[in-house]
Structure 1
Amino acid sequence: MLNLSLINLPKKDVSNINIGVFVSINEDYAIVPKSFNDKVKEMIAEKLDVEVISTLINGSSLIGSLVVGNSRGFLVSRYATDSEIEPIKKVIRVERSYDRMNACGNLILINDKGALVHPELSNKSIKLIEDFLGVTVYRGYVGRYNAVGKAAAVTNKGLLVNPYIKRDDIEVLEKIFDVPLGVGTINFGSPLIGSGLIVNSKGYIAGSNTTGPEVARVEEVFQFI
């Protein structure tokens, strides 16, 4: 685990615990706030084996909450400006979501096989996700949470969900994402796994409060051991 408290994150807008709120990743790219210094960006590039893209979305550093993607591209908040999207468009496909609920990273959990979304996401948004990101989309919860993008983390190798998951939902989620599921927490017991963890099939970065047993669970579920 990379302990983010040791790499001098900009204190004005970034918590070293909730790294997933500020960074959105797929297999090849990490989108980070402009406020991240070169040392932080180099760490992310090295640990996840990705190219780092710096921008803002709607003037905000909360990119992990406002952007989500898979290997086919990124979906961003409806309020993202052309200039904010441009750095992303230079290297990978990007599209705006025009749903009234626009925090894509909070509302959508996705890998290259499938997607689970907030139960109230519109049919238009679901069609966009299916067409643009190339996956079948389902509405639902992860445990007690409808902000499914932050209640779990998924890659093409594994799915880590919070402990409130219902037993009957485990098989369903494994079929949606076509990966094995594990139950765990992050940041010393937090069920908001997607807020405290960024992960792809090549590496991960966890929040600085994450314990040894939580790290072991991450590495087991995502097949790093």
Structure 2
Amino acid sequence: MSEQESHHLEESSAESLPEFKATRNYTGPDEQQSWWYIKRWSQDWKSCYNSVPFYISKEGFRTRREYCGTRKALRIRFENTNEIGAFIKITNSYCLLCSEDESASFLKTVKGDLASETPVINTSLAGCRITGRMCVGNKNGLLLPETVYDTELQLIQNELPDSVKIHTVEERLSALGNVIACNDNVAIVHPDINKETEEIIEDTLQVEVFRHMIANNPLVGSYCVLNNHGGLVGGGISNVELENLSSLLQVPLVAGTVNSGSKVIASGLAVNDNLAYSGMKTTSSEISVIESIFKLSKACPPC
């Protein structure tokens, strides 16, 4: 094929393709939260295809959204706050969050992002909505404060997978999410936590437990978030301490922030091995660090 014929074919193909515009109306009722994927892909494809607008069918969009959305760091807001980590706890086998009628769309979005077999349990803990700060868990177990209501405990027991152990903890430091950080293999805890609580953590979560501080701050659960691939640490930690902690936990760690500079990592971030939620104020550079350290980035399949 000559260069002239090739050029003519490209021009005719460009004319036959419809102008691609990303609008909320393009998606169906169940896809309103993901309309921005279309806009992003449209811009990427225009650059890849020499500014030729690329059209994708609804079926193709849904397929690519499902593929690309399974391993990503996503910005999200709970009602009017960016402190997303205070209201949600996600692990590799279940999710706990506190969502009321006015935030039903938040609950629906989370259910859509997680794997279909992952139960999403909508509950408060001890009457408090800050579910993410009141509990701690991994794929093996879940620890709740002793003050949790019987109705809340029963609901959680009914919804959790049978493989997940659940235990209530009598502990002076009752906001367990602030004093414990863990993944499926290891945990670091507040230095002053009870010995009995430490034993319960080892037995229920099936992890190795270390007492530690982060930059002389004992609230390790607030300043550190872990999954099985890595961890993000805030609080002004030094490089030497970061290396020692990484060696202790046997996962790579990096110092960083969320929500445009906040060092209280766990308040603005919730992760498992496949997904991360951060507040809407989280910058692009912060998102990049989150995707990198937690191994969430995954290239889109070829068009």
TM-score (norm 1): 0.90
Higher relative contact order (CA 8 A, sep 6+): 1
Distance 1:3 1:215 in 2: 9
Shift of 1:22: 1.0
DSSP-derived class of the 2:74 partner? coil
Structure 2: tracts of 5 or more residues without a match: 1-72, 298-303
Residues 31-78 of structure 1: per-residue CA shift (max 9 Å, x gap):
011426332112223334342101111111011110110111110111
Whether the 8 Å contact between 1:109 and 1:117 is mirrored in structure 2 is yes
Aligned to 1:58: 126
SS at match of 2:262: coil
Number of the residue aligned with 2:257: 185
Corresponding residue of 1:89: 157
**Distance in 2 (alpha carbons) for counterparts of 1:144 and 1:185:** 18
**Aligned pair 1:104/2:176, yes or no?**
yes
CA distance, structure 2, for counterparts of residue 78 and residue 199 of structure 1: 25
After alignment, is 204-213 or 139-148 more displaced?
139-148
Q: Contact 1:144–1:164 at 8 Å: present in 2 too?
A: no
Name which of structure 1's ranges 160-169 and 79-88 shifts more when overlaid on structure 2.
Answer: 160-169
The one of 37, 41, 47 aligned to 2:107: 41
103-112 vs 135-144, which moves further = 135-144
Q: Work out the CA distance in 1 between the residues paired with 2:76 and 2:141.
A: 27
- 2:28 match: none
Q: Which residue of 2 aligns with 1:68?
A: 136
Secondary structure in 2 aligned to 1:71? coil
- Which among 282, 287, 290 is matched to residue 215 of structure 1? 287
1:137-182 per-position Cα deviation (integer Å, ceiling 9, x unaligned): 1111122421111101100111111151133322332234321111
Q: Which structure dedicates a bigger proportion of its chain to helix?
A: 2
Q: Deviations over 1:2-35 (max 9, x none)?
A: 3324xxx445xxx2x1110111121121101142
**1:173 and 2:238 aligned:** no
Residues 1:3 and 2:101 are matched in the alignment: no
Residue 30 (structure 1) aligns with: 95
Q: 2-side partners of 1:125 and 1:69: how far apart?
A: 14
Residue of structure 1 aligned with 2:236, choices 164, 169, 174: 164
SS in 2 for 1:79: coil
**Which has the larger Rg?**
2
Alpha-carbon distance in structure 2 between the residues aligned to 1:163 and 1:221 = 17
* CA RMSD between the two structures: 1.7
Q: Is the Cα–Cα contact under 8 Å of residues 99 and 106 in structure 2 kept in the other structure?
A: no
Identity of matched residues, % = 31
Unaligned runs of 5+ in 1: none
Task: Name the amino acid aligned to 1:104.
Answer: L
Q: Is the 8 A contact 1:48 1:204 kept in 2?
A: no
1:19 equivalenced with 2:84 (yes/no): yes
| Contact 1:25/1:68 (<8 A) preserved | no
Contact 1:186 1:207 survives alignment (8 Å): yes
Range moving further from structure 2, 40-49 or 120-129? 40-49
Counterpart Cα distance in 2 of 1:108 and 1:163: 15
More strand by share: 1
Count of paired positions: 218
Counterpart of 1:80? 148
TM-score (norm: length of structure 2): 0.68
Displacement of 1:87 in angstroms is: 2.0
